[in-house]
Amino acid sequence: MAAGEPSIDALGQFKLTSSLGPLGASVNFSQSNLMMLIAAGLILALLYYGMKPKAMVPGRLQALAEIAYDGVMGMCTDQIGHEGKRFFPFVFTLFFFVLFGNLLGLLPFSFTYTSHIAVTFSLALVVIVLTTVVALRIHGLHFFTYFFPDGAPKLLAPLIIPVEVISYLSRPVSLSIRLFANMVAGHVMFEVFASFIVMLAAAGTFGVIGAAGPLALNVVLMGFELLVAFLQAYVFAILTCIYLHDAVHLH
Amino acid sequence: MTEPLQGDPNPSGDAFAQRLEAARKKQGMDPTPPAPADGDTQPSAMGVGARVGVELVASMIVGVGIGWYLDRWLHTSPLFLVVFVFLGGAAGIANVWRMMKPKG
């Protein structure tokens, strides 16, 4: 333990710093915002350059763009029904924004904007406001029967209605916590194991051999995190679809 | 086209598409079917556990939040907090039940 006291700073990686030099600092343009812009640019580039050839037999990039489109379209129509096509742009945007945030965060020197509860909760809030507005527009005040199921005895109304309201309001909370917690947990584990490598390597020859353990673990973890990145984006999108289904069909 | 389909108004339409799909599936030509139809992907025990946990915690957070805020607003501490902790817990259980119940 030569250079200072090495400690594991697992949460320092989530700290926001301003990017783009003095201009970014003056408007509080953080690296998180920068990554969001990069993600948005990459998504647009994928669709634009992917679909540019318009080939009958798609190349690799075009196949990727088509799978992206088909996958989200299938998700919408399977979950919501044929009305789901109207929500396709929203779900597509949401899915790819989250997916690219998760995936870009796995690159070295980048930042995972989905690891901030502020970001994920904002996204979840957009989802819940949209579903509520959609439900109110389609069903009008009939929407409020959602909070009191049909066959329930009237006597239980003071108990059921608050529970249903809380359950409805907990949707954005659980939606955002799930994504945020998964991303934070993954990146904290990366940091912890990476710190083990450095600390062991600093402890002499024997430690260098031992450092292979956490290194191997981090390699495995990277594969696992790729899965989690995709899965959480998928879960976020599919739950959005399910909530939209509830809003459209109301039951 | 071995046997003609009786009573089918559109023998070359839907029925053919269905049989084609069945045949393709049998030959393993459609590798896509495992797309999960419900809200969950293959429910691994870990995944289900994490979802249940998040669901319970989220409802509790909302319940406590509402109760705490009502108390602060109406100066009735701790009445609403106590009530809404229980309601939040109940809502969490209700959510978990809705998540786990067999799809009907």
* HSE (side-chain half, CA atoms, 13 Å) at B81: 9
Q: Is the pLDDT of residue B10 over 90?
A: no
For an interface test with A, which of B30, B62, B70, B99 has the most A Cβ atoms less than 10 Å from its Cβ?
A: B62
Q: Contact, A181 vs A198, CB < 8 A?
A: no
A239 touches chain B (CB under 8 A): yes
What pLDDT does B29 receive? 60
Pick the range with the lowest mean pLDDT from A9-18, A56-65, B74-83: A9-18
Short-list B82, B84, B51, B43, CA closest to A169: B84
Answer whether residue B26 is part of any domain: no
Answer whether residue B60 is part of any domain: yes
Percent of chain A whose predicted confidence (pLDDT) is above 90:
47
Q: What mean pLDDT comes out for the span A73-78?
A: 89
Rg (C-alpha) for chain A, rounded Å, is 23
Answer whether residue B43 is part of any domain: no
Answer whether residue B14 is part of any domain: no
User: Can you give the residue range of the structural domain that contains B58?
Assistant: 51-104
- DSSP code of residue A113: G
**pLDDT tens-digit readout, A161-201:** 889 899 999 999 999 999 999 999 999 999 999 988 888 88
Interface of A with B in 23-62 (CB under 8 A): none
For an interface test with B, which of A174, A231, A234 has the most B Cβ atoms less than 10 Å from its Cβ?
A: A174
More confident residue, A35 or B31: A35
What pLDDT does B33 receive? 45
> Which residues in chain A are contacts of B66 at CB distance < 8 A?
166, 169
Answer whether residue B65 is part of any domain: yes
- Strand residues in A79-136 grouped as ranges (E): none
Pick the range with the lowest mean pLDDT from A32-46, A209-223, B29-43: B29-43
Name the token pair of A104: 């870009």
Q: How many CB atoms lie within 10 A of CB A162?
A: 20
- Quick one: pLDDT band at residue B50, thresholds 50, 70, 90? confident
Q: Is the pLDDT of residue B13 over 70?
A: no
- Quick one: pLDDT band at residue A38, thresholds 50, 70, 90? very high
Domains in chain B, number: 1
- Nearest chain B Cα to A179, which residue? B54
**pLDDT tens-digit readout, A85-123:** 889 999 999 999 999 999 999 998 888 999 999 999 999
What pLDDT does A114 receive? 92
Residue A96 buriedness (CB in 10 A; 0-12 / 13-18 / 19+): buried
**Yes or no, beta carbons of A164 and B94 under 8 Å apart:** yes
Answer whether residue B22 is part of any domain: no
Residue A139 buriedness (CB in 10 A; 0-12 / 13-18 / 19+): middle
Answer whether residue B71 is part of any domain: yes
ipTM for this model: 0.74
Q: Contact, A201 vs A207, CB < 8 A?
A: yes
Q: How many CB pairs under 8 A join A and B?
A: 62
- Summary mean pLDDT of chain A: 88
Bridge partners of A18, per DSSP, are A30
Answer whether residue B63 is part of any domain: yes
Q: What mean pLDDT comes out for the span A13-42?
A: 85
What pLDDT does B37 receive? 44
